[in-house]
Structure 1
């Protein structure tokens, strides 16, 4: 059962978190293009599509920690320091996405945008992506794991 849960956890992370990180990273430059050419409907559609991807996959991404907890429970590592740090970083990444990235995207789409706001959004997105990179590294290295890695 552990292998199944781990496989679902990893696949969910790839399928759900990957698109959010890519779409969120693509959003600021796309928003700058849309701001520079307000009559370009294709640029506006691109921004809307990227925002929709971020919102939908953020919701789908909830399954990642759910299967992560299930996997950790079956492995007996719920009290491990690396896992607790990973959980905290995951919660922080979710907070950055929900409180900073998605609202900034929405504001830009609603016409409250300036080039400076796209730069700020790029920074928020970078923090979000770095948090997920740190979680991924912890999941691979797992200090004190018995895998011998």
Structure 2
């Protein structure tokens, strides 16, 4: 059963977290171009939609990760706790920072008056980069599992 849970967890991470990370990383470039009048708002809206939909689907990743940790008996291991904290930080950054900022830019491109949209668009590359780095650290922790008796 552990192998099945771990497989679903890893597949969900690849299929769901990968696309949301890529969409959030690509969004600032297209947003900047569209806000400057050098690009279409269509890819911006599409990337925001991908970010929103995959953010919801990404809940499956920690769910199956926790189920795998229980099955493996590693729920109290430091590497897992650190991964959970970083995952929660990434989720908070996405839900409270990136997605609302993207929505502001999309609304501004649709013609709604949004004060501060340029500032919002300027900080999106940084927040998206931090989001990607958080996931990269989680992946490394999942592979290396420092201090684990079942690790390398």
Short-chain TM bin: over 0.9
2:75 aligned with 1:72, yes or no? no
Q: What's the TM-score, normalizing by structure 1?
A: 0.93
Q: Which runs of 5+ in 1 are unaligned?
A: none
Shift of 1:36: 1.4
- Tell me the alpha carbon deviations over residues 118-141 of structure 1, each in whole angstroms, 9 at most, x when there is no partner: 220111111111111110110000
Aligned pair partner of 1:135 in 129, 133, 138: 138
TM-score (norm 2): 0.91
Shift of residue 85, structure 1, vs aligned partner: 0.5
The answer for the alignment partner of 1:12 in structure 2 is 12
* Stretch of structure 1 that moved more, 117-126 or 100-109: 117-126
Where has structure 1 moved over 6 Å in runs of 4 or more? Answer: none
Counterpart Cα distance in 1 of 2:69 and 2:130: 26
Shift of 1:15: 0.5
Question: 1:29–1:118: 8 Å Cα contact kept in structure 2?
Answer: no
State yes or no: 1:3 paired with 2:3.
yes
Query: How many residues get paired?
Result: 145
TM-aligned CA deviation for residue 147 of structure 1: 4.5
Corresponding residue of 1:32: 32
Asked if structure 1 preserves the Cα contact closer than 8 Å seen for 2:144 and 2:151, the reply is no
The CA deviation string for residues 47-85 of structure 1, in whole angstroms up to 9 with x for no partner, is 000000000000000000000000000000000011001
Following superposition of structure 1 onto structure 2, how do residues 90-129 of structure 1 map, counting pairs within 5 Å? Answer: 90-111=87-108, 112=114, 113-114=117-118, 116-129=119-132
Equivalence for 1:145: 148
